[in-house]
Amino acid sequence: MGLNLYGGTFLAVEHLSRLTAGVFHSSHSGSCCGVLMAEENSGLLKLKQGVAIMSSRTFGERWAEALLQARYGETYGLERSKNQAYDLVERGGLRAESKFSRLFVPISKVKDDLKLPLAQGSSKSFASLSGTWTANFQKLHPSEFDVLYYGLVLNEGILIHRAKVEELHLSNQHRNTTTIKQFHIDQDSLAAHQKHRIELLSWGTLLSIVEG
């Protein structure tokens, strides 16, 4: 279900061959279609790789928060918080925290750990919704927020959820403290979060939001 990076090129080649055979009588529309598809796929690829290689701090503390405000500012009155204890504020003063997890296809197994960079390659691929993956949401302080926005970044898009803190099933992250919590989601437990789901934000829609 990955991006068809060569979709535009294929259309252009197919168009040229049919034109030679006399099947197509109008070359302009087909050519434009191929160019537009190539540009769209190029933009999506750039966006996906940009999200994939962002540092954890930039991804979680800056971009994810900005995305939530841009997408749900009108719906929930979301604004970035000036209080360092929580990330955003909803309409009515509800304190909101955001946690997003990027899920990648595992790198190939290697017998020699020294060769791990070669197995990793130069780019990352997001895991598929139907694949095998585990998302970890950690460093949660339930006393400091009222609502949690949590997202799963996958090949199909971003699954975004919203839940009140009392609706979350949290466990202690560390043995020696009960104030820092966590929870996990995998492909088997995902269905239990359906009631909290806002949407599956496609990469195409995401590109439109980012480009403004």
Residues of the chain with CATH 3.40.1350: 55-211
Within 13 Å and on the Cβ side, how many CA atoms surround 180?
8
Q: In the CATH scheme, what is the code of domain 55-211?
A: 3.40.1350
pTM of the model: 0.78
The stretch 195-211 carries a mean pLDDT of 97
pLDDT digit string, tens, across residues 79-97 = 999 998 999 999 999 999 9
Q: Quote the DSSP letter at residue 60.
A: I
What was the pLDDT predicted at 37?
Answer: 58
- If phi > 0 it is left, if psi is from -120 to 50 it is alpha, else beta; for residue 121 that is left
- Is the pLDDT at 19 greater than 80? The verdict is no
pLDDT digit string, tens, across residues 140-189 = 999 999 999 999 999 999 999 999 999 999 989 988 878 899 999 999 99
What was the pLDDT predicted at 122?
Answer: 66
Residue 210 host element (H or E): helix 203-211
pLDDT digit string, tens, across residues 110-147 = 889 998 888 877 678 999 999 999 999 999 999 999 99
Residue 53 near residue 120 (C-beta atoms within 8 A): no
